[in-house]
Amino acid sequence: MFISKQENITPEGDSKSDTEGANRLELARFFPYQLSVLNASVSEVVAQLYRGRFQLAAHEWRVLAALGESDDGSNSAKVIAAVTSMEKMQVSRAISGLKKAGLISRTVNKNDRRSSCLALTATGKEVYTQIVPLVLAREAYLLSALSQDEIAQLTMIFDKLAAQANALKQLG
Amino acid sequence: MFISKQENITPEGDSKSDTEGANRLELARFFPYQLSVLNASVSEVVAQLYRGRFQLAAHEWRVLAALGESDDGSNSAKVIAAVTSMEKMQVSRAISGLKKAGLISRTVNKNDRRSSCLALTATGKEVYTQIVPLVLAREAYLLSALSQDEIAQLTMIFDKLAAQANALKQLG
DNA sequence: TATTGTTATACTCTATAACTATA
DNA sequence: TATAGTTATAGAGTATAACAATA
């Protein structure tokens, strides 16, 4: 795998070398494409674990994971949205699904009656406890092809790329 | 950003350290989650370029890119599916859309009348020529936060991760 | 019989925004 | 007025498989 040769660094493509047509686009070397393909594979590999055996949708799994990692029961939908990078509406839908499946409980927040305290039920904790080792094992298997140094590199690289992407998103 | 501590390397989570519950799942450090969030940002940043100004759907853009990068006009739908990592049905739909928009032409393949030769029209080439510098500039901006060495690392890391993910996919 | 590609169908997911209740 | 969360609705995307044409 290769990534397109880098000759230009402005976000809007207004530098000379960009617009002269010297740069070709090769899908297989195009980083956003590579990222998308890898993500599809990795997502699928994780989804296999919670979809069939536990009948969870992707967003439900994400909310379950968020609730499972916090000890205190003070999880409002807003907090969950922030932790999971999901929209409030998607969180709301996921909560409905998890509630219906008996995996989470919802109690009105006494300090602010607009919001709820969400928490895993006993069943929810059980499901969580079953899934977590499976997904961690798959993550570990994925990363086992990398050295500790490469993992550290990847972490830094992702941070930098996320920052750049967020800068670009502002441009619209 | 951090990635979960790695202590286990078997795909099915049957090693001792996996099932003892010593490993916690922290969404923010979970690699598949990080990958998914980064991909969402990067995809959005690229989509901004072809969606609004050129009215293309994601799959249409991908097919357009595939057709644009090949010089000979011998692109069957099957070849496009392979190059774009798309399903034949998605390719078929994307082709309909691009055809309707007048961006591609389709002529029956004389050697095998089941398939077609797909190619960009003059209009399609024009659109392609307009978009390519824009997306390459965005890719360049994203990667401009990385050193040449980091880009090389990333390339190798993605290769390794893709291989691992594909190995896991077989397990189902 | 197998392959290329299209289409039908039902299903899921998404986006926008209106809405309720509370602050 | 602003915020937390839900719901309505329409549109986009997906998956499965049946299908026609050709090999």
Q: Count the Cβ atoms, other than its own, within 10 Å of residue A16.
A: 9
Whether A9 has a pLDDT exceeding 80, the answer reads no
Give residue A18's pLDDT.
39
* Local confidence band at B21 (pLDDT 50, 70, 90 cut-offs): very low
Question: Rounded to an integer, what distance in angstroms lies between the CA atom of residue A1 and that of residue A34?
Answer: 9
- Closest residue to C12 by CA to C1' distance? A57
Q: Is the CB of A126 under 7 A from strand C?
A: no
CB B6 within 8 A of CB A140: yes
pLDDT per position as a tens digit, A20-34 = 334 799 999 999 999
**Cβ(A7)–Cβ(B136) under 8 Å?**
no
In whole angstroms, what is the distance from residue B88 CA to residue B68 CA? 19
pLDDT (tens digit per residue) in A112-160: 999 999 999 999 999 999 999 999 999 999 999 999 999 999 999 999 9
A133 touches A142 (CB < 8 A): no
Which tens digit of pLDDT belongs to each residue from A157-167?
999 999 999 99
pLDDT per position as a tens digit, B39-56: 999 999 999 999 989 999
User: Could you report the per-residue pLDDT of B71-92, keeping only the tens digit for each?
Assistant: 776 799 999 999 999 999 999 9
Number of alpha helices (DSSP H) and beta strands (DSSP E) in chain A: 7, 2
Give me the pLDDT at residue B16, please: 41
CB B11 within 8 A of CB B167: yes
Q: Chain A within 8 Å of B87 (Cβ-Cβ)?
A: no
Q: Rounded CA gap, A64 and A104, in Å?
A: 8
- Please tell me which of the candidates B6, B132, B166 has its beta carbon nearest to residue A140: B6
Identify how many contiguous H helices and E strands chain B contains and give both numbers.
7, 2
Instruction: pLDDT band for B163, please (50, 70, 90 cuts).
Output: very high
Q: How confident is the model at residue B11 (pLDDT cuts 50, 70, 90)?
A: low
Is the model's pLDDT at B93 over the cut of 90? yes
Element (H, E) at A52: none
Query: Using the 8-state DSSP alphabet, how is residue B24 labeled?
Result: P
- Is the pLDDT score of B97 beyond 50? yes
Amino acid at A150: E
- pLDDT confidence band for A86 (50 / 70 / 90): very high
CA distance A57 to chain B (A): 15
Q: B168–A45: do the CB atoms touch at under 8 Å? A: yes
CB-CB contact of A107 with A117 (8 Å): yes
Helices A148-171 + B148-171 axis angle, to 10: 100
Mean pLDDT of all residues belonging to chain B = 90
What pTM was computed for the model?
0.91
Strand B104-108 with A116-120, pairing: unpaired
Distance CA A12, CA B68 (A): 21
User: Phi and psi dihedrals of B110, rounded to 5?
Assistant: -70, -30
pLDDT-based confidence at residue A6 (cuts at 50, 70, 90): low
Check if residue A91 sits with its Cβ under 7 angstroms from strand D.
yes
Residue A75 pairs in a beta bridge with A118
**Across-strand partners of B2?**
none
